[in-house]
Amino acid sequence: MRTSSLSERPEQQRPRRLADWLNPTAERKVHSLVDKIYQRKNLAVAREKVKRNRGAGGIDGVDVAAFEADLEGNLERLHVELKEGTYAPQPVLQHLIPKAGKPGECRALGIPTIYDRVCQQAILNRLEPIFEPIFDDANFGYRSGRSTKDALKKIWRELKSLHPVVYVSLRLFKNLVGWVLVLAGILMLVLPGQGILTIIMGLVLSDFPGKYALERRLASKQRVLDGINWIRRRSGHPPLVPPQI
């Protein structure tokens, strides 16, 4: 895997063809991947992954169980369509999901059909092993086993190793903001929800010995627990119940 830093300059000259990416020295022949995608074995593996992921059916109303009822027929039809170049995906089914804490606002989720998801997974089975090794180490979006938390950790590592002054300054600023929020929360304790929320935000931002023990002790206090549950009720979440000791 290529190594990278967040401060590197992007390459100006990049190969335009996949074959040039995979075989820059032309030492070996690169074949088409189309026939590898529609292989029955690959389609069967893709179907198994889609089945494990479960999920609702798409716009055609066919769920996983219905797809499995005519499994051989569906896989054979997909095999033929991909081989002959007649495959065409169906429109995705739009499903609106309410946003937590934002009444009246929703985010749209597109749900492909099971048939199309098997096709997508079959393509992914062949492309991921090829592209994953050549992706830059600083790429985190839509990659298996990587998350926004991993990206943030890399940012902190890069700052610490390459820009120590910036790293120390940010850590000091983060702690300063944290303690300002703690003090502001103490002053606002007359407003239970806002005061407790501000204190918790300040503690989360701050770094000091015994931080987590203090957070647990703070959360065990009835007044603090009432404030936390007041916030949870406002956001539509069930109350927090502390463990019985």
The pLDDT tens digits of the residues spanning 63-80 come to 999 999 999 999 999 999
Q: What is the dihedral of CA 148, 154, 157, 161, to 10 degrees?
A: -150
Find out whether 169 and 156 touch, Cβ atoms under 8 Å. Answer: no
* Contacts with 187 (C-beta within 8 Å, 6 or more apart), sequence order: 195
The values of phi and psi at residue 94, to 5°, are: -85, 130
Give dist(CA 44, CA 56) in Å, integer. Answer: 20
Give dist(CA 19, CA 146) in Å, integer. Answer: 26
Q: Tell me what percent of the residues of the chain surpass a pLDDT of 90.
A: 29
- Kindly list the domain boundaries of the chain, sorted by start residue: 29-135, 164-235
pLDDT at 146 over 70: yes
Averaged confidence pLDDT in the chain: 79
Confidence at residue 1, expressed as pLDDT on a 0 to 100 scale: 44
Among positive and negative, which fits the CA dihedral 7, 11, 16, 20? negative
Q: Tell me what percent of the residues of the chain surpass a pLDDT of 70.
A: 76
122/134: higher pLDDT: 122
Q: Is the pTM of this model over 0.95?
A: no
pLDDT at 56 over 80: yes
pLDDT at 148 over 90: no
